[in-house]
């Protein structure tokens, strides 16, 4: 199954305490990054061939989305062997080479850890299907609802809806029982109550740490401690309730996280740990990231990426326009709450979210570049560790697919089927999908203007966005005013200025509908950021910000910084003192 890394490929890197506070992380979604062998799917040698690009951008860490053995029901978030690489991506030896190649360039690597669930093709689950197996209790098996006909609608043990639509329970003919899957039926949930499960996971994590990796991004880690498996009250017109309200932030979450930390030596070895936590709150995040608790360095909250859906609605496809004051307020609350205890992660984008410039900016040809830059400025000037998702540094946009046949994501396909069966209009469903579907972020990386954007010589698994002819890495590197170079400078600024890493955060003009303004202060230094987050001109009221006389402009989207009148999507960073 596995082979040990050879001595020649292991290049270790320094990991001082809290090194991740001054780091910028770059997320690679391997399937869509670069294809080396013409099969249309990105792979490890493809990533290897672009390491100098990452070095030129200046990022400190790569977070690699799953490359493990997988039947690919959820593009690798369904793992059938935690200690092997899927052949579609390459081999363990190629992963060792990638780790070494990153380390040689001073870049660390964080692996995705998907341990809330496995694939149903993982040997643990295959064994668990046997009711007499010692691994039966490694997953959540439950009998049908008393008095019901097993396997029929309504016979599921609880009325929970999976995150990928449909019941969160799958009937198994052989034993007449159901198993729990918060995501697809091919992603059965592990039972973390069982100490053997936890031990097996910690051993696997140690194996990866010994292989030379620098940390873990932990997939839906706040779902591992399940509360009571009981029915909920469905919203009007629905028969099921979202499973997350019963499984997020469960009673033993903090205990499991600190146990994992100690068992694997996460803090002892200064590894980067970030927990993806849908449904987390400021309180759960404070507990999980308080260094005294030895759980995680930081979490991914979902609050700011939930502001453009109907509150209390049926999910992310119930669209509402985003309000800038609401977005600023939410980020400010997290900044204040984690100012003295814990640490923030900062993100607009990832492989599950629409493209940042299309969602929070303006992706029209007129405003795309400036809005992508300004969103970068706003993100990077908050306190915390910024995460850049591949292509965000080019201002890549949504794909806006128009037909269900264009989609590959199981979540989008299931949503479409379930919404249509509930009687929603096809046009409305397709509209929501085009705005919010995860495939928006998953179209191939746009490297140059050759066919398929230089991503593959074959047929890409998901079509390249046709705008690759103008939006691509080669063009951006050539143009000193590109979004790429703006991101490169933002990263450089973080490395050069402690105030960006450690400075106290203060939001100015919280209610302004267009301007995002803030200060960061450390000792006698004050950094001021002003940004017009709208497609209309706007003015900053001078009395609302510190006097800028004598200030140095560290980075600006536009040339003239003499007045406080800002062009659409213009932003500036000043340093005083
Ligand atoms: O995502 C978890 C998650 O809650 C969402 O971001 C998810 O995409 C959303 O509920 C769908 O509407 C993580 C991974 O990032 C995602 O890619 C996986 O599909 C999921 O876990 C299951 O492993």
Distance (Å) from CA 572 to ligand 1 centroid: 34
Nearest CA-CA partner of 535 in 308, 330, 360, 393: 360
The mean per-residue pLDDT over the stretch 234-239 comes to 87
As a whole number of angstroms, the distance between CA 206 and CA 190 comes to 19
Q: Go through 540-575 and write b for each residue having 16 or more CB atoms within 10 A of its CB, e for each that does not.
A: beeeebbebeebeebbbbeeeeeebebbbbbbbbbb
**Lookup: tokens for 7:** 């001595």
Identify the band that residue 11 occupies on the pLDDT scale cut at 50, 70 and 90. low
CA of 79 to the centre of ligand 1 (A): 14
Distance from C-alpha of 140 to C-alpha of 45, rounded to nearest angstrom: 38
Q: Which atom of ligand 1 is nearest to the CA of 352?
A: 8
Residue 455 scores a pLDDT above 50: yes
163 lines ligand 1 (CB under 6 A): yes
| Tens of pLDDT, residues 22-71 | 999 999 999 999 999 999 999 999 999 999 999 999 999 999 999 999 99
Tell me the whole-structure pTM to 2 decimals: 0.97
Which atom from ligand 1 is nearest to the alpha carbon of 350? 15
pLDDT tens for each residue of 261-274? 999 999 999 999 99
User: Could you give the C-alpha distances from 432 to 183, 314, 441, in angstroms and in order?
Assistant: 20, 13, 15
Q: How many angstroms separate the CA atoms of 52 and 68, rounded?
A: 24
Distance from residue 138's CA to the centre of ligand 1 (Å)? 22
CB 529 within 8 A of CB 378: yes
Q: Are 88 and 193 in contact (CB under 8 A)?
A: no
Q: Per this entry, what is the length of the chain?
A: 577
State which ligand 1 atom lies nearest to the alpha carbon of 116: 23
CB of residue 352 inside a 6 A radius of ligand 1: yes
409 C-beta closer than 6 A to ligand 1: no
Q: What does the pLDDT average to over 386-412? A: 98
Q: Is the pLDDT of residue 5 over 80?
A: no
Q: Going by CA atoms, what residue is nearest to atom 12 of ligand 1?
A: 163
Nearest CA to ligand 1 atom 14: 219
Is the confidence at residue 506, as pLDDT, over 90?
Answer: yes
Rg (CA), the chain: 24
Lowest mean pLDDT: which of 135-144, 229-238, 286-295, 364-373? 229-238
Question: Which residue's CA lies nearest to atom 8 of ligand 1?
Answer: 352
> Region 5-9: what's the mean pLDDT?
43
Task: Tell me, using a 6 A CB cutoff, whether residue 74 lines ligand 1.
Answer: yes
Give the N- to C-terminal CA distance of the chain in Å, as an integer. Answer: 58
> How many Å lie between the centroid of ligand 1 and the Cα of residue 278?
9
DSSP string across 166-178: SBSEEEETTTTEE
Residue with CA at minimum distance from ligand 1 atom 5: 352
Check whether 222 has a pLDDT greater than 60. Answer: yes
Q: What is the pLDDT of residue 560?
A: 84
Determine the distance separating the centroid of ligand 1 and the alpha carbon of 365, expressed in angstroms: 31
Per residue, the 3-state secondary structure of 496-519, as one string, reads HCHHHHHCEEEEECCCCCCEEEEE
Is the model's pLDDT at 1 over the cut of 80? no
> What per-residue confidence (pLDDT) applies to 331?
98
- In this prediction, residue 312 carries a pLDDT of 74
Token pair for residue 135?
């691994």
Q: Is 411 in the pocket of ligand 1 (CB under 6 A)?
A: yes
What pLDDT score was predicted for residue 2? Answer: 40
Catalytic residues: 219, 276
CA 505 to each of CA 94, 139, 285, 332, 384: distance values in angstroms, whole numbers, following the listed order: 42, 44, 18, 9, 10
User: What percentage of the chain reaches a pLDDT higher than 90?
Assistant: 95
* Alpha carbon distance 122, 112 (integer Å): 17
- Does residue 272 contact residue 215 with C-beta atoms inside 8 Å? yes
What mean pLDDT value characterizes the chain?
A: 96
Taking 50 as the threshold, does the pLDDT of residue 8 lie above it? no
From atom 18 of ligand 1, which residue's Cα is the shortest distance away? 77
Q: How far is the CA of 280 from the centre of ligand 1 (A)?
A: 14
Question: How far, in Å, from the CA of 86 to the mean position of ligand 1?
Answer: 20
The residue among 166, 189, 192, 194 whose CA lies nearest residue 179 is: 189
Phi, psi of 386 (to 5 degrees): -75, 140
439 lines ligand 1 (CB under 6 A): no
Q: Which pLDDT score, from 0 to 100, does residue 540 have?
A: 98
Q: Which atom of ligand 1 is nearest to the CA of 117?
A: 23
- DSSP assignment of 306-332: GTTB-TTSSSTTSB----HHHHHHHHH
Lowest-confidence pick of 1-5, 242-246, 380-384, 529-533: 1-5
Cβ(418)–Cβ(165) below 8 Å: yes
Res 204: pLDDT: 98
Q: Which atom of ligand 1 is nearest to the CA of 438?
A: 8
Tokens 């097993």 belong to: 150
Atom of ligand 1 at shortest range from CA of 315: 12
Average pLDDT over residues 479-486: 98
Banded pLDDT at 236 (limits 50, 70, 90):
confident
Is there an atom of ligand 1 within 6 Å of 316 CB?
yes
pLDDT tens-place string over residues 338-385: 999 999 999 999 999 999 999 999 999 999 999 999 999 999 999 999
pLDDT in tens, 290-333: 999 999 999 999 999 999 999 877 789 999 999 999 999 999 99
Q: Which residue has the tokens 């497609």?
A: 535
pLDDT value of residue 10: 57
pLDDT at 124 over 50: yes
């Amino acid at each position: 199954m596995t082979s040990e890394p050879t001595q020649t490929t292991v290049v270790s890197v320094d990991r001082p305490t809290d090194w991740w506070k001054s780091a910028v992380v770059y997320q690679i979604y391997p399937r869509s990054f670069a294809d080396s062998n013409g099969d249309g799917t990105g792979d490890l040698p493809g990533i290897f061939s672009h390491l100098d690009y990452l070095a030129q951008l200046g990022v400190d860490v790569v977070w690699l989305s799953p490359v493990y053995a997988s039947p690919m029901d959820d593009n690798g978030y369904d793992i059938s062997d935690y200690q092997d690489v899927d052949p579609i991506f390459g081999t363990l030896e190629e992963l060792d080479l990638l780790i070494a190649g990153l380390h040689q360039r001073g870049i660390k690597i964080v692996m995705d850890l998907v341990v809330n669930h496995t694939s149903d093709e993982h040997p643990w689950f295959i064994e668990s299907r046997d009711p007499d197996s010692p691994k039966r209790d490694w997953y959540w098996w439950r009998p049908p609802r008393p008095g019901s006909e097993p396997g029929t609608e309504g016979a599921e043990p609880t009325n929970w809806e999976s995150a990928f639509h449909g019941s969160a329970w799958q009937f198994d003919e052989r034993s007449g029982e159901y198993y729990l899957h918060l995501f697809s039926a091919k992603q059965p949930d592990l039972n973390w109550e069982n100490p053997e499960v936890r031990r097996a996971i910690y051993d696997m994590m140690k194996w990866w740490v010994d292989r030379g990796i620098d940390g873990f991004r932990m997939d839906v880690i706040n779902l591992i401690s399940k509360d009571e498996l009981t029915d909920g009250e469905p919203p009007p017109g629905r028969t099921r309730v979202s499973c997350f309200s019963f499984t997020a932030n469960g009673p033993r979450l903090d205990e499991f996280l600190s146990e994992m930390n100690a068992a694997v030596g996460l803090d002892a070895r200064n590894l980067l740990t970030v927990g993806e936590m849908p449904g987390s709150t400021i309180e759960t995040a404070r507990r999980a990231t308080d260094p005294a608790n030895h759980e995680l360095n930081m979490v991914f909250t979902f609050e700011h990426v939930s502001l453009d859906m109907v509150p209390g609605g049926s999910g992310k496809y119930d669209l509402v326009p985003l309000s800038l004051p609401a977005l600023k307020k939410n980020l400010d609350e997290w900044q204040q709450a984690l100012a003295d205890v814990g640490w923030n992660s900062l993100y607009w984008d990832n492989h599950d979210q629409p493209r940042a410039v299309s969602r929070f900016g303006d992706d029209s040809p007129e405003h795309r570049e400036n809005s992508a830059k300004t969103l970068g400025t706003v993100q990077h000037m908050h306190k915390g560790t910024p995460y850049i998702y591949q292509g965000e540094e080019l201002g890549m946009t949504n794909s806006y697919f128009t037909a269900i046949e264009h989609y590959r994501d199981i979540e989008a396909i299931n949503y479409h089927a379930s919404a249509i069966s509930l009687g929603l209009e096809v046009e409305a469903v397709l509209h929501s999908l085009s705005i919010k579907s995860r495939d928006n972020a998953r179209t191939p990386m746009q490297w140059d203007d050759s066919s398929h954007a230089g991503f593959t010589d074959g047929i890409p698994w998901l079509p390249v966005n046709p705008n690759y002819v103008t939006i691509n890495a080669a063009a951006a590197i050539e143009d000193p005013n590109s979004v790429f170079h703006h991101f490169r400078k933002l990263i450089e600024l973080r490395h050069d200025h402690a105030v960006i890493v450690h400075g106290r955060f203060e939001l100015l003009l919280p209610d302004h509908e267009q301007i995002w303004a803030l200060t960061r202060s450390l000792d006698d230094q004050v950094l001021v950021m002003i940004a017009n987050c709208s497609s209309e001109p706007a003015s900053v009221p001078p009395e609302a910000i510190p006097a800028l006389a004598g200030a140095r402009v560290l980075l600006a989207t536009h040339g003239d910084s003499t007045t406080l009148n800002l062009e659409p999507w213009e932003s500036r960073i000043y340093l005083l003192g």
